[in-house]
Amino acid sequence: MRSPRPTSPPRPARRRGPRRFAALLLGVAATLFPTAVPAGASAPPPVPGTLQAYDIGSVFSAGVSSGGYMATQLHVAYSGTFEGSASFASGPYDCARGLLATALNACMDTTQNLQLATLEQATRDRSAQGQVDPVENLAGDPVYVFSGSGDSTVKRPVADALADYYGRFGARVQYNRSTAAGHAWITPLGPNSCTVTQTPFLNNCGIDAEGALLGHLFGSVAAPGSGTGGSLIRFDQNAYAPGGSATALSMGAEGFAYVPASCAQGASCKLLVALHGCKQGYAYQGFGTRFVENAYLNEYADTNDMIVLYPQAAPTATLENPNGCWNWWGYLGDTAYARHGGKQIEAIMGMVRALRGTGTEPPTGDRTVLSSTDAEDGYVKAAADGSGAAVGTLEDVYGLALGRGTDGKVNRSVVSFDTSRIPAGKEITRAWLTVTRSSGSGDPWASPAGNRLLVDLRTGCFGGCAVEPGDWSAAASVAGAARIDAFSSGSTVSTDLSTGALAALNRGGVTQFRLGFASAPSATAYLFVNQAAPVTLTVEYR
């Protein structure tokens, strides 16, 4: 029996600070990094190219607003890869929990409680289920948080919660809350004054925030250079988008990477993934490379052996994401947006791995983890012979039902996956389901003795893709595709899908699985699964 495993390899051991439950709040004075004011933005003109492999050790993330949320998502989901993060004007990991209303009212405004303890526990649960890397990796990681008192877009208590969130996992948090900055990336090259909130959302507050955040992430930092000593590579983001279309993910066709001469010549370098905010992407209304040129990161890259990767989000033509924000609330139906399998996350991870020389095609590596589609998941109850079937109504309260309930009905559950996200042209070698027990009564595996919980597979949907009564007895494409052995708590994985089931996975759309006991339990004996998180399908390929 396997246990769920993180998809990132363990990173080299490094010294970590003690676990702490409150963030270390450091009011960073404006004079902490005194420098002469730079003359103005400068960067070499972009040149077409591809992401080549370099000698990269440590990897970090940084972002502003939606980019700050994405920087945190990358750090938490792939903490085996990312060793620290910096965020301007954003809040805690998966604050929105897949709901736009929560994003607006709890994670930007404060009219709704963002429920920090719930966010912490959800992160720990995802770690236990293998949906994000082990949370133990976060202990001792450097985290930089910035919030200005003039920011009415993402209000101060939301950023406070980000600092507190990381502190609960033992991260070393440096929190600059000393200025009256508006909603912006803070940079000496910013054309805006400190307190405003307006395009291009690049504000000059008379401080060197980049020197501060990089000094905290790296431990020390050399003075900045000109920002023109390297190459600015313009590359095709479609090459890293799951499914091959960046547009389908609300990402731009073009991304950028600044590569200093030292890194190009073979020096051991660090990698910073820098994420713009809403209305700052290259493809947003002619915004172009203003963030790339004015973020004041290329200047430090030249003198600190640091490659800067600038992935690009892009606006949708619909109302899903008209401002070209990064996905931090689950738009375009991506329910995995904040964890392994999230489409934008996997695209960026593909870029990171390409730069590190450990893979170039998306989703990266040889495995993808798909989350079931909540709107199409559910359970059906019927008599033991299948008569009187009806859709169950307690999913939101208890989860997906299996076995014989107190009403004497026998329950079967159906879960749905978008298996078109498995990379085209890859040979699937192995796949399995992961389920998490929520509650139950009795032992349906022992009623009758030797009962088996079987997994049937349907290429496409058993009926309509939304659960319906006929799903209880509808024909499967592959019956008994896998088995789930008895477990009394936590998460477990099925046996590997059979060879026939692997071949039956729908590479062009939806695949559904039906979970049910081979024999109707002779007495009340049931369990509920996955009340708080989706079932996952892990697929390995080559």
Please list the active-site residues. 65, 151, 183
C-alpha dihedral, 91 to 92 to 94 to 97, nearest 10°: -70
> Can you give the C-alpha Rg of the chain in angstroms?
24
Q: What residue ranges in 327-485 does DSSP mark as E strands? A: 367-371, 378-382, 390-391, 400-404, 410-418, 428-441, 453-459, 478-484
Provide DSSP, 107-133.
TTSSSS---HHHHHHHHHHHHHTTSS-
Widest CA span in the chain:
81
Cα–Cα dist 536/336, whole Å = 10
Cα–Cα dist 61/208, whole Å = 18
Q: Is 460 exposed, middle or buried (0-12, 13-18, 19+ CB in 10 A)?
A: middle
Nearest Cα neighbor of 505 from 433, 438, 417, 441 is 417
Lookup result for tokens 């369990």: 527
Cα–Cα dist 120/316, whole Å = 31
Helices and strands: H and E segment counts in the chain: 11, 24
Query: In which element (H, E) is residue 296 found?
Result: none
Cα–Cα dist 196/183, whole Å = 7
Question: What is the phi-psi region of residue 494: left when phi exceeds 0, alpha when psi lies from -120 to 50, beta otherwise?
Answer: beta
Which amino acid does the sequence have at 307? I
The CA-to-CA distance between both ends of the chain, in Å, stands at 22
Lookup result for tokens 């983890």: 369
Sign of torsion, CA 392 397 401 403?
negative
Nearest Cα neighbor of 340 from 536, 193, 174, 117 is 536
Note whether 151 and 89 are within 8 A (CB). Answer: yes
